[in-house]
Amino acid sequence: MIPDLQIQPGQIPLSDIRKIYEGAVRVSLDPSCWEGVTASAATVQNIIDENRTVYGINTGFGRLAQEVIPADQLHKLQENLVLSHSTGVGPLLDDRIVRLILVLKAASLARGFSGVTPAVIEALLGLIEHEIYPCIPAKGSVGASGDLAPLAHMSAALLGVGNVRMNGEVISAKDALKHAGLPRLELGPKEGLALLNGTQVSTALALAGLFEAEKLLAAATLAGGLSLDAAKGTDAPFDERIHMARGQLGQIDMAGSYRALIMGSEIRKSHEDCEKVQDPYCLRCQPQVMGACLDQMRHAATVLTREANAVSDNPLVFIEDGEVISGGNFHAEPVAFAADNLALAIAEIGAMSERRIAMLIDTSISGLPAFLVKNPGVNSGFMIAHVTAAALASENKQQSHPASVDSIPTSANQEDHVSMATHGARRLLRMSENTASIVGIELLAAAQGLELRRPLTSSPHLEALYSEIRALVPAYDEDRFFAPDLEAIKELVVSGRLNGEFADILPELN
């Protein structure tokens, strides 16, 4: 059964946004929003009745804003806008992303600043309820004047134009509406523009990247603790006094997680009096690096939650005094910056994990058999699994170049600075998949290291993690076809199960 979720436009918490991303929901809006929506639409109608010329209501758009449109052409104007702007290319966005886009757009319009009638919002809610997801090509937005092309494809489905996915199958939007008993939307003044303007696609993609980064941070934290014990590293660098002296909040929280992870380890006790003075940075500086990633993710979560609740179309209708004012809330620079920071965090989580894999397979550092396998030479062990991790880490470094520093003029130089938030956010999912594979390889390598330390045992938390890994992948006794093991452990990382199972010791995002 699809769960019900009532949302208050402008006040949707990140926890509810995460639920929308993770699975189908039947969304309803707080009834208090409809009065403002109706009043906003009435303000637009008054402008038409009074024969006033206002951008977005009875004019052209962009460089054609000086063109006044006759009243009998206003419906055609809005429909033409949707059709002409449906120019996206490339692979289709995932249904989870599309569902989030639909909800964010409905909630934004329901704030009562966009001048649309309730019918527009109800049409969006109808798609969500019947799990009809417009086929939205991923490419074609520069993240200013809103996500015009992708939102046009979303909007076209409301008109019965284009294709949608329903029950996992691609069918025509016209047939889907008919099957669900939903009417074709007839666009009134300003309604096409309100649907197309906005940052909902960029924001949904960035939020998806944030939610995937959450899983990566958790899995990499656990993998780092397991690697520490497998390499007989010291927990001294996690001493609370060190981190309080610096005062960085993410670092303080991460150090606490590592202390909790390693507590009670028999392996740790076995080398308390060893002559080793310091561990490599990939072990010793985990709180500092992962804490910085956590700080960036927390900041991004704040910005993106704010944007998910924002009114980002243009122009905006202010019912108190009947004014319609043209501004630039469609410019997705806040989303672009958040996406860039998330890209840095995702890349660094993977980079540190790759370094720990390299440390574990290097017998001169870890003290473990070369490449984590008995009888090395005949067996190659984790040699090429590390090469895969290194390749993915380097690919992420290329992907993490900031998108927001790029811009290109569009619309005959009317829109002369753009955010590039859309593809800046879209790359986060590719990067997350890379990092999930890297962290998965580390989990296997660290578990193998623990195997080679037997009969000594680790801490209760790390032994529980070891058991979770071994339930999916057996110990590496000799060379075998390794690819299925890497896929199985990657699926554990991306499933988010580790976040739930170790929630008591992992820091919270918000």
Specify the amino acid at residue 352.
Answer: M
**DSSP structure string for 16-44:** HHHHHHHS--EEEE-GGGHHHHHHHHHHH
Identify the sign of the CA torsion 475, 480, 482, 485.
negative
List the structure tokens of 335: 């989303």
Q: Is beta strand 26-29 parallel, antiparallel or unpaired with respect to 4-7? A: parallel
Identify the sign of the CA torsion 106, 111, 116, 118.
positive
What count of other Cβ atoms lies within 10 Å of the Cβ of residue 460?
12
CA 64 to chain centre: 35
Largest Cα separation within the chain, whole Å, is: 87
Cis status of the peptide bond prior to 315, with omega within 30 of 0: yes
List the structure tokens of 24: 């189908």
* Of 238, 205, 218, residue with least CA distance to 428: 205
* Of 208, 193, 182, residue with least CA distance to 99: 208
Active site residues: 55
CB proximity list for 244: less than 8 A, separation 6 or greater? 252
Using CA atoms, how far apart are residues 504 and 508, in angstroms rounded to an integer?
10
